[in-house]
Structure 1
Amino acid sequence: MPPIETGSTLLIVWAVIGYLLGSIPFGLLLTRAMNLGNLREIGSGNIGATNVLRTGSKGAAAATLLLDGGKGALAALLARYLTGEDAAQLAGVMAFFGHCYPVWLKFKGGKGVATFLGLLLALAWPVGVACCLTWLVAAALKRMSSFAAITAAALSSIWAFVLGRPDAFLLCVILTLMIYWRHRDNIARIKAGTEPRIGQK
């Protein structure tokens, strides 16, 4: 992790900003705006892009993916530009946390994959690109978004070292643990052979 050079008060401010940005439920907002139904009653009920795809709208799913990734990147980049690397990593983690546990939805949010990839692309783009490619390869092999997510997360800390970003190692470990926690039900279904495939309604 980077050296802690920012004062505690300013770090708290960035943590709150990151959380609030991350907690914007773009998937839910887009499906309502496009009259695609109540996302909470579709598929897994999740607010992420994979579940939005189950509405049948690829456009809405793509927009959700970009916006969920973008909010993580925005939180990290704003904090880096205005304060420093320590604030950027904290804001990024809190954006991820905000997506998973948004106050507006009684702390029942998404699983954070797009936000995870977005903030890694912003903070350490080679690591982010490697994780995106890992996700694509794993998804192509298994046709399971959850399998691709946990694979990309598991390799993220390794990519951080291999690609010369050891300062991002702890960040990747924290995000990986959170992604595995958020995907614990998916992992159980993968083991049982009942996990839905990408695009399956």
Structure 2
Amino acid sequence: MTYLVVFIISYLVGSISGSYIIGNLFLKKDIRKYGSGNAGTTNAMRVLGKKAGVTTFLIDFFKGMLVVFIVKKLFGEEYIPLGILAAVLGHDFPFYMKFKGGKGVATTLGALAFFNFKLTFICYLSWLILTIVTKMVSVGSIAFYISIIIIYSIYSGLSGVNLIIIILIALLGIYRHKANIKRIINGNENKIGGRK
């Protein structure tokens, strides 16, 4: 029963979509109908502007942190990975948006940073470096998820089940970038500041 409660609470918090709220309430735009159709930071920045994009990132980042805080306080640390997974699922597949949300990068980053800052910072550096070198946010994001699998598998010391959950979160993130991966392979992926 505890697992179910943790999942439901975390999913509902994770389903709070920064870009959807900002777009609909303040700019009268449904982010899912513009740009890539993704309800995440990158598309929000392109469609709604830099301020809206930054605000979207902060909302999605801090809701990840909030989930970790709530789960730790109410249920204990052993339930945190499940809470993070549920929060990311809520972000990616929010029920009130017909399950069409974002890709979970900001939410994953915020949640894992609050859960284990040192390991997550290393993973974040991979995102930063690859994004700068390639000028593609998607490449950095994919590198971020791959580094989570590697770094957490080696250094986290998590139990088998919780490590598997963390790996599932990373694999979900990579899967959500499948369209980007195809464009990268074809040489058609968006670069920062414009198209290739």
Could you say whether these structures have the same fold, taking a TM-score greater than 0.5 normalized by the shorter chain as the test? yes
Task: Describe how 1:174-189 pairs up with structure 2 within 5 A.
Answer: 174-189=168-183
Aligned mates of 2:45, 2:13 — CA distance in 1: 23
Percent identical among aligned pairs is: 33
Say yes or no: does 1:50 pair with 2:42.
yes
**Would the aligned equivalents of 1:135 and 1:152 in 2 still touch at CA under 8 Å?**
yes
Query: What does residue 104 of structure 1 align with?
Result: 96
Residue 166 of structure 1: SS of its match in structure 2? coil
Cα distance, 1:86 vs. partner? 2.1
Task: Describe how 1:15-54 pairs up with structure 2 within 5 A.
Answer: 15-35=7-27, 37-54=29-46
Aligned mates of 1:83, 1:114 — CA distance in 2: 24
Question: 1:98-124: CA deviations, max 9, x gaps?
Answer: 111110111111111111111110111
RMSD in angstroms over aligned alpha carbons?
A: 1.7
AA of the residue aligned to 2:33: E
Cα distance, 1:170 vs. partner? 2.6
Task: Describe how 1:1-201 pairs up with structure 2 within 5 A.
Answer: 9-35=1-27, 37-55=29-47, 57-161=49-153, 164-167=155-158, 169-200=163-194
Query: What does residue 3 of structure 1 align with?
Result: none
Uncovered stretches (5+) of structure 2, i.e. residues with no partner: none
Runs of 4+ in 1 over 4 A off after TM superposition: none
Residue 115 of structure 1: SS of its match in structure 2? helix
Residue 55 of structure 1: SS of its match in structure 2? helix
Aligned mates of 1:42, 1:199 — CA distance in 2: 18
Cα distance, 1:56 vs. partner? 5.3
Aligned mates of 1:199, 1:32 — CA distance in 2: 26
**Would the aligned equivalents of 2:126 and 2:143 in 1 still touch at CA under 8 Å?**
yes
Cα distance, 1:40 vs. partner? 1.9
- Normalised by the length of structure 1, the TM-score is 0.89
AA of the residue aligned to 1:181: Y
Bigger relative contact order, structure 1 or 2, given CA contacts below 8 A and separation 6+? 1
- Normalised by the length of structure 2, the TM-score is 0.91
Aligned mates of 2:21, 2:60 — CA distance in 1: 12
